[in-house]
Structure 1
Amino acid sequence: MIALRLERPMASPVAPEWSGAVWIGAIDVAALAAAEGDAIALADSEGYALARLLVRDGRSVLGFVELPVVDLPEIGGSIAVDDLVARVRALATPVVQPEPIHLPSVTVVVCTRDRAEQLRSALTSVLAIDYPAFDVVVVDNAGATDATRELIRTEFTDPRVRVVSEPVPGLSRARNTGLLQATGEIVAYTDDDVVVDSQWLRALVAGFARSNDVACVTGLVPSGELRTPVQRYFDDRVSWSANLVAREFRLAEPPADLPTFPFSVGEYGTGANFALRRTDLLALGGFDTAFGVGTRTGGGEDLDIFTRVLFAGSALVVEPSALVWHRHRSDLGALRAQAVGYGTGLGAWLMKVALTPAMMRVAIRRTPSAVRRLVDKRGGTLESGTAAAATGPELQKAPEVDGVDWAKAVSKVGWVELLSVAKGPVRYLRQRWDGTGLIDPLVRRVALARR
């Protein structure tokens, strides 16, 4: 008897051909408790041997569980209710953050470049958010065609959605353009390759309500698709897909478990899911245009803004209940390109740290721990990662697929990223030579004066 039917947060273009593919979904403990039956049906589960579920209690995130997918007659892919209940009972009970009394207005900024198909699903999920006062600014960053504007004009006529152009390529420039167009008290940033949770903005706002000094809130970015070995490899390596504990970070209160703090790459979150108070971000000068996809540095803009928030004396909050599902790169070529961007962006950001006296004084004390952390990022395997290792069965290494030894192939990507770090400092200096930097002070003052 079917107790429930679960849908996937992200649709996949094709069924998986890899034996280690993992079906992704979510379940609420209240729905599980009310379920009557012995099996939970999984929609579009053909080709998946495992299921990973994000377990929630209302808006709160309890953790991940992984279970085998069983193919049942007339049902298809399913998981056993008893097995799921046992796994859920082993999860910790989170501290529930109360709903803030004041719900500030929010502007959601989505930066995109020639990816109208992905943007469609991202915007659809954004407009379905349960929040009383928000608008959306889509920044078309140096698009080669008018596909983005046509998509908004023909399919997203909702008055809350605006599209603006930023002709100079660079993610930081695009984010600054969105900031200058924003009208909300809070500016929330996400990407065009995501699906946001309906409670995303309420959870972000709850993070700001933790303390008056909170300037930035980040959220959880779990994998929305694990269809290929490449996606699983990336999922295993990034810590921000498994940050399940709410935390508050302040420069004056170094956490004992982060020896490289405040240069703790990955612990704060990622650029696909974060928000800042509009006035605080303008006071900081916005995003540094020497960083980001579309520039020589290829990334690093999120690392830069997170550390600048802390060095400005503000607090940064990680709020796992602010949930955004992300579609990782699915093929090896795209993964290599992403690794190069991550590596050069990291190297560029480290160069900026070295040239900023206040940061450098702290960095000198953290250097030994940082070097060990960086070297530990090399290589990698296709075994079960941080998100599910404590709750699910360990995955087997990937077999050869289409004649490719994926375990060997993707293990080299970590070295590509590590070697790319060395390119970052020179590329950062070349970006600086081109006149990149923060938003002009006069432009900031005008924006601050405007509601």
Structure 2
Amino acid sequence: MAQPTGTTVLTLEPAMPSAEPPAWSRAAWVGAVDRPVALAADAVELAGAEGFRRARLLVRDGREVAGFVDVAVDPDGAVDPAELGPVLRALPATRLPAGPVGQPNGPDRRLTVVIATRERPRSLERALRSVLASDHDDLEVVVVDNAPTSSRTRDVVVAVQDPRVRYVLEARPGVSRARNAGLALASGDVVAFVDDDVVVDRGWARAIAAAYERDDDVWCVTGLVPSGELRSPTQRSFDERVTWARNLERRVYRTSSPPVDEPLFPFAVGSYGTGANMSVRRAPVQALGGFDVALGPGTRSRAGEDPDLFTRVLLAGGALAVEPSAVVWHEHRSDRQALRSQAIGYGTGLGAWVTKLVLHPRTLAAVLRRAPGALRRLGGLGQAADERPVDAVGGWPVDDEFVRATRGLRRVELVAALGGPWRYIVERIAGR
């Protein structure tokens, strides 16, 4: 829509551009906005917003994340300033964390980014190009091709033609083996891991490096993983169910000062983040043995490798930092069958990881002390009474299509968790 002469128009780009139309009447356009810039604009337009009635915006003050807002989108793909302005002002003020942040482009320490992938060339290329577009000066990327059945992953790396990218073959299946292969070859002091179904924010690497500069005892940094698409009910369901999609609080966890608001600490699944956006200080994590190859996608355990590493870092005396300004956008599964499979994987991985904790004398006592609270939380997975979630920002309503997409998923996850122990034991025996 043409704007009057002299009007300041801000055009926002989608987090994950797509030529596909929204598959749901309540789908939301997803992107990010800088609050001071938006408040100074006369109009805000959304690129590629055809067919969308709502938008979810990640709001930032420069590089600091303030929160999320959900707003209406008009037929021309614009947001009403009369609605946007008040919700932007209602979000809390942000401030830069204390401590050194290095040069204008962030600390110049070398960062190695490892992308473990298997036969998903289209997603890989998108993720790889977003990493290479990072504003961090000293960057290398290791693409680990895990148990491939074709040359498609190698073809993507060759086509990108960037000297910062290395291709590595890991013939044995399992994301933990693939990540360990990347960790072993990394030249950076800090090694970051992202999945192949994400798009990395331009300032992501700089935010990670700054977090390590602030605290010398930090061995692991995780970031924010917001939904990059909300085109279908299943994507919205996944967004509602995972804590790391909206984890906006900057925190540093240490066993020397246990958080009073985390009764399950250091076994606080979900509070620390996810393997789709995590990084480690290379030397101490290599000394820990890296990722457990009996856990994670590609094994019978199906998941659990990231909470396992988080917990081992903490128990070994390292600190774990949650850094919301390190943003990667995640492409959630768009159909119910894929969502169900993901729930089974998470449940199985949870059961497998808990089994590992119980089988080790050092962690058994700690697990038993927290067992009552853990059992209450685990039992909640099987309850269906609260499967009509209300959006945390703006009360975005759900509909019958959404309810059908989410029905029974918590029970599926619980049943899968009960099968995790024997899967972990069989995987561990097979690995030996």
Tell me the TM-score normalized by structure 2.
Answer: 0.94
- Check the 8 A contact 2:233/2:405 in 1, yes or no: no
The secondary structure found in structure 2 opposite 1:41 is strand
The secondary structure found in structure 2 opposite 1:215 is strand
* In structure 1, distance between residues paired with 2:87 and 2:316: 42
* In structure 1, distance between residues paired with 2:100 and 2:136: 12
Bigger shift: 315-324 or 251-260?
251-260
Kindly provide the CA deviation profile for residues 295-341 of structure 1, in whole angstroms up to 9, marking residues without a partner as x: 10001000100000000011000000000000000001111111111
Which residue identity does 1:130 align to in structure 2?
Answer: D
Name 1:85's counterpart in structure 2: 85
* In structure 1, distance between residues paired with 2:95 and 2:363: 33
Kindly provide the CA deviation profile for residues 357-404 of structure 1, in whole angstroms up to 9, marking residues without a partner as x: 22121111111111122222344535443xxx2x32x2332234xxxx
Cα drift, residue 31 of structure 1: 1.5
Name 1:349's counterpart in structure 2: 353
The secondary structure found in structure 1 opposite 2:69 is strand
The secondary structure found in structure 2 opposite 1:434 is helix
- Check the 8 A contact 1:300/1:346 in 2, yes or no: yes
Kindly provide the CA deviation profile for residues 76-131 of structure 1, in whole angstroms up to 9, marking residues without a partner as x: 11111232121111111223135523431110000000000000110110000001
- Check the 8 A contact 1:236/1:382 in 2, yes or no: no
Tell me the TM-score normalized by structure 1.
Answer: 0.90
Which residue identity does 1:415 align to in structure 2?
Answer: R
Give the share of equivalent positions with the same residue, in percent. 50
* In structure 2, distance between residues paired with 1:13 and 1:308: 42
- Check the 8 A contact 1:22/1:52 in 2, yes or no: yes
Name 1:229's counterpart in structure 2: 233
- The correspondence for 1:411, drawn from 407, 410, 424, is 407
2:65 maps to 1:100: no
The secondary structure found in structure 2 opposite 1:257 is coil
Which residue identity does 1:112 align to in structure 2?
Answer: T
Name 1:69's counterpart in structure 2: 73
Name 2:187's counterpart in structure 1: 183
Bigger shift: 12-21 or 136-145?
12-21
Cα drift, residue 168 of structure 1: 0.6
Name 1:173's counterpart in structure 2: 177
2:425 maps to 1:421: no
- Check the 8 A contact 2:50/2:77 in 1, yes or no: yes
Which residue identity does 2:203 align to in structure 1?
Answer: Q
Question: Residues 17-166 of structure 1: matches in 2 within 5 Å?
Answer: 17-35=23-41, 37=42, 39-71=43-75, 76-97=76-97, 100-101=101-102, 102-153=107-158, 155-166=159-170
Name 2:289's counterpart in structure 1: 285
Which residue identity does 1:14 align to in structure 2?
Answer: E
- Check the 8 A contact 2:118/2:146 in 1, yes or no: yes
2:317 maps to 1:313: yes
- Check the 8 A contact 1:220/1:269 in 2, yes or no: yes
Structure 2: 5+ residue runs without aligned partners?
none
* In structure 2, distance between residues paired with 1:219 and 1:350: 24
Name 1:444's counterpart in structure 2: none
* In structure 2, distance between residues paired with 1:428 and 1:269: 22
* In structure 2, distance between residues paired with 1:241 and 1:409: 19
Change (3 A) 1:382 1:117: farther
* In structure 1, distance between residues paired with 2:412 and 2:278: 27
- The correspondence for 2:15, drawn from 5, 9, 16, is 9
Which residue identity does 1:122 align to in structure 2?
Answer: A
Change (3 A) 1:13 1:341: farther
Which residue identity does 2:331 align to in structure 1?
Answer: R
* In structure 1, distance between residues paired with 2:90 and 2:405: 36
Kindly provide the CA deviation profile for residues 214-234 of structure 1, in whole angstroms up to 9, marking residues without a partner as x: 100000000000000000001
The secondary structure found in structure 1 opposite 2:58 is strand
The secondary structure found in structure 1 opposite 2:150 is coil
* In structure 1, distance between residues paired with 2:74 and 2:38: 18
CA RMSD of aligned residues (A): 1.4
Kindly provide the CA deviation profile for residues 147-169 of structure 1, in whole angstroms up to 9, marking residues without a partner as x: 0101111x211100011100010
* In structure 1, distance between residues paired with 2:288 and 2:261: 28
* In structure 2, distance between residues paired with 1:164 and 1:377: 39
Number of aligned residue pairs: 419
